[in-house]
Amino acid sequence: MLFCGKLNLMMNTTLNTKSETNMKQKIRMIGLDLDGTLLTEDKTLSARTRTVLSRAIANGITIVPVTGRPLAGLPPVVRSFPGIRYSIHSNGAAVYDLTARRCLHGELLHPSVAGRILSLVDDPGAICEVFTEGYGYADPFGRSLLEKRYQGTVLMPYIQQSRRVVPSLEKFLQHVSTGIENVSVIGTSQKYCQELVQRLMTIEGIRVVVPSPSNLEVGAARSDKGLALLSLAEYLGIPRASVMAMGDSDNDVGLLKNAGLSVAMGNASPHVREISMHVTDDNEHDGVAKAIEEFAL
């Protein structure tokens, strides 16, 4: 069993300023979103990306996968990559030391809050999951819908390795003692999810991330990819100015805004490109490798 503790840091959460972005300081840490960023569309690493990651690690740069996936969903090709020791999961809810096999830091929801979130979901076709201790949990109905949704896609192996089935999510939450990383709701329409977001705003202490129009991920107020990366950087004695981050979607905004140097993928949404300092090629054309070569090596 993994327990997420605190790094016990007094972290400055002010976003990067122009003076910081103009500082030319050696990059010592790179936070990389996975899907749409580090991984190609078939969920692998290109040969060039592998080579550049190895060069960066050999040069003393800490490479950190930063993802919405739970720990069990970290692709083997990433988890087994030589030199990758730390990873951040569930949109910043949990920071892991992969070598020591422990959770360094967690920003978690109380199970009762997760229960309140689920109670507001009244879409009979919605897929609801709760994430805790590195896995996603769904009831049999939710699991069947999840498998139907991803059957035959490149994401099916990820679903199979990272999900578990419980008879009832409500009863399952009554026995969770370590907190909930997030609650995922895949609705049947964008309109429904927009309405659900408005209802969720009546619950204090939560943060809603919208990875796609019909998918909501609800976590603790301070579960943010960027804040988690900075907490790890401070733990390792790395200043913000030496932290680089790359991403492609709206759940990467905090990651990019908090990094000393931010790079959006060529396939990123317009908003993500707008708030980033630089834009590289897309994830099918070695965008990560090219940006690391340009800014860190």
Domain membership flag for residue 57: yes
Tell me, what's the pLDDT at 21?
Answer: 42
Residues 212 and 141 in one domain: yes
pLDDT profile of the chain (297 residues), mean per 10: 48 37 75 98 97 98 97 96 98 96 94 97 96 97 95 95 97 94 96 95 93 91 96 97 96 96 96 96 98 97
Residues 200 and 262 in one domain: no
Domain membership flag for residue 144: yes
Residue 57 DSSP symbol: H
Residues 290 and 160 in one domain: no
Residues 122 and 258 in one domain: no
Give the whole-angstrom CA distance, residue 139 versus residue 127: 9
Tell me, what's the pLDDT at 210?
Answer: 87
Domain edge (last residue) among 189, 220, 251: 220
Q: Left, alpha or beta for 149 (phi > 0: left; psi -120 to 50: alpha)?
A: alpha
Tell me, what's the pLDDT at 6?
Answer: 52
Which residue segment(s) compose the domain that 52 sits in? 25-107+224-295
Domain membership flag for residue 29: yes
Tell me, what's the pLDDT at 289?
Answer: 98
CATH number assigned to the domain comprising residue 263 = 3.40.50.1000
Alpha-helical (H) ranges within the chain are 18-21, 47-58, 76-79, 111-119, 140-150, 156-162, 169-173, 190-200, 225-235, 253-258, 270-275, 287-295
Residues 40 and 185 in one domain: no
Collapse the DSSP code of 288 into the 3-class scheme (helix H, G, I; strand E, B; otherwise coil) and give the result. helix
